[in-house]
Amino acid sequence: MSSIISIQVGLPRTLGDESAADPMDRLWTSSFFKSPVAGPVYVGKTNIAGDAQADLVHHGGVDKAILAYSADHYPQWHEELQISDLPYGAFGENLSIAGLAEDGVCIGDVWEMGDVRVEVSQPRQPCWKLARHWRIKNLAAQVEQNGRTGWYFRVLAEGTIAAGQPIVLRQRRHPEWTVARANDLMHRRKHDRVLAAELAGLPELSASWQKTLRQRAEEGREPDVRLRREGP
């Protein structure tokens, strides 16, 4: 059975020095630094209590209220990154979930955790702040390419959750559109306008992904991802 292994929340923090010579040390603001929650915590429509997003243009809102990540990825990351201290929440996630990964979660899935019901809205697209946090310049690109991205939930029914609770699938509308397949289409099959239109047509897909995929399908246009990956 799939379950919540750990819950993390954090508020925006500003770090660094504007005049630093190393770009990794320059001024930046992020909510990436999250701490584990002990005991039950309330889940609202746009976030978990005690959590907030620093960049509301690219993060947060009803489509991206909760970031979930597979706890099952951590052993492989330990081996690949050779970082001794890589706790749950290391990828900025709110929920570290055991027994689920991108190939077993689908766009539009409705999952239940206690009295909270959530819906899968899109894969997570990692940004430069992940790389800055771990001081690995290409880490966002690594995550994007290997598909170990995590995914976002929108909240359908508010309530409380706690670490150790099972997470149960209640409805699967689009079994053909796993998070893994959506990632593959977005990042590798960029010339497939037919599939782009198909995925964009899912009403449960986030508004931002719908917009990007419709532009691809109708105009062959791709967004410039350099700022998201590399930062200012």
Instruction: Say if residues 150 and 121 touch (Cβ distance below 8 Å).
Output: no
Give the structural domain span for 199.
3-230
Count structural domains, the chain. 1
Instruction: Say if residues 41 and 50 touch (Cβ distance below 8 Å).
Output: yes
Token representation of residue 79: 């081996």
pLDDT, tens digit, for every residue of 131-180? 888 989 899 999 999 999 999 999 999 999 999 999 999 999 999 999 99
**Which residues are CB-contacts of 213 (< 8 A; sequence separation ≥ 6)?**
185, 186, 196, 197, 199, 200, 205
Task: Give the pLDDT confidence score for residue 25 in this predicted structure.
Answer: 77
pLDDT, tens digit, for every residue of 78-129? 999 998 889 999 999 999 999 999 999 999 999 999 999 999 999 999 988 9
Instruction: Say if residues 93 and 69 touch (Cβ distance below 8 Å).
Output: yes
Q: What CATH number does the domain containing 23 carry?
A: 2.40.33.20
Residue whose C-alpha is closest to residue 152's, from 51, 69, 212, 44: 69
